[in-house]
Amino acid sequence: MTHLPSLFVSHGSPMLPLEPGTAGPMLSALGDELPQPAAILAFSPHWMARIPAAGSSARPATIHDFGGFDPALHELRYPAAGNPELAQRAASLLQAAGWAAILDPGRGLDHGVWVPLRFMFPQADIPVVPLAMPWPLDAAGAYKLGQALAPLADEGVLLFGTGSLTHNLHEFRPGATTDEPPEPYVQEFADWMREAIDRGATASLLDYRRQAPHAARAHPSDEHLLPLFWALGAAGNPVKPQHKSGGVHYGMLSMDAWVLA
């Protein structure tokens, strides 16, 4: 079976399906470029739990876990099947690595999962299993969580980390558009992250809160960046990163993605 890369994508705002900007076409092209997975294990900041939990529903619902956006978003569905066997396999790997992982048969797919997947795999013909982010969690913990799941890449599973490269919604300006010029701090933070990923500077990346410029402003809380470290851990070492630029939406959401082989 083909070894699959792990992946980090920025899903940005729930408005992405209606305002795709430059990120939507990038995600569509990325889906076309990737080897076809047998299944997807998705790690999103929009499902947090006390311990890791794998969604074991055979038919996960589309969760509209947001409010105040265009009502048309609530009409959208992503009817991918689940994969209870993959959920059990993921939980078993985590348990073997010392995590008290469980199954959740009632969990559906939050917008951090289904919004980018609608661009990447619009036919919704690949089973998707969501994985809860255990909380509290830091960068090193997310990396170790990804390491524990790395064997799945040899079993045809796409390890799919979904978050945002920058995520300070306090700075969202009403009326802003997806082609607003990026705030300088957003670009500086994104440039630092890309350079560190390119040179495989894992220790610096895991210490980004102290080393990256404007880290606290780019991520007042870091749950939206933790899926990147999860994907890096799943990719192993050394990593061959392939950067995909999605631009900067609304001047403050950097929409970059990485394929990590």
Give domain limits for the chain. Answer: 6-260
Q: Which two tokens stand for residue 109?
A: 């797919």
- The predicted pLDDT at position 77 comes to 98
- The predicted pLDDT at position 73 comes to 97
- The predicted pLDDT at position 174 comes to 87
Please state the pTM of the whole predicted model: 0.98
Q: How far apart are CA 55 and CA 52, in angstroms?
A: 10
Reply yes or no on whether the pLDDT at 1 is more than 80: no
- The predicted pLDDT at position 111 comes to 98
The CATH architecture one would assign to domain 6-260 is 3-Layer(aba) Sandwich (3.40)
Distance linking the first and last C-alpha atoms of the chain: 15
Place of tokens 């300088």: 184
CA distances from residue 10 to 3, 87, 188 in whole angstroms, order as listed: 23, 23, 17
Reply yes or no on whether the pLDDT at 23 is more than 80: yes
Mean pLDDT of 67-92: 97
pLDDT band for 170, please (50, 70, 90 cuts): very high
Q: How far apart are CA 30 and CA 24, in angstroms?
A: 10
Q: Is 99 exposed, middle or buried (0-12, 13-18, 19+ CB in 10 A)?
A: middle
- The predicted pLDDT at position 13 comes to 93
Average pLDDT score, the chain: 97
For residue range 171-230, list pLDDT tens digits in order.
Answer: 998 889 999 999 999 999 999 999 999 999 999 999 999 999 999 999 999 999 999 999
For residue range 99-136, list pLDDT tens digits in order.
Answer: 999 999 999 999 999 999 999 999 999 999 999 999 99
User: Looking at residue 173, what DSSP letter applies?
Assistant: -
- The predicted pLDDT at position 128 comes to 99
Mean pLDDT of 144-152: 98
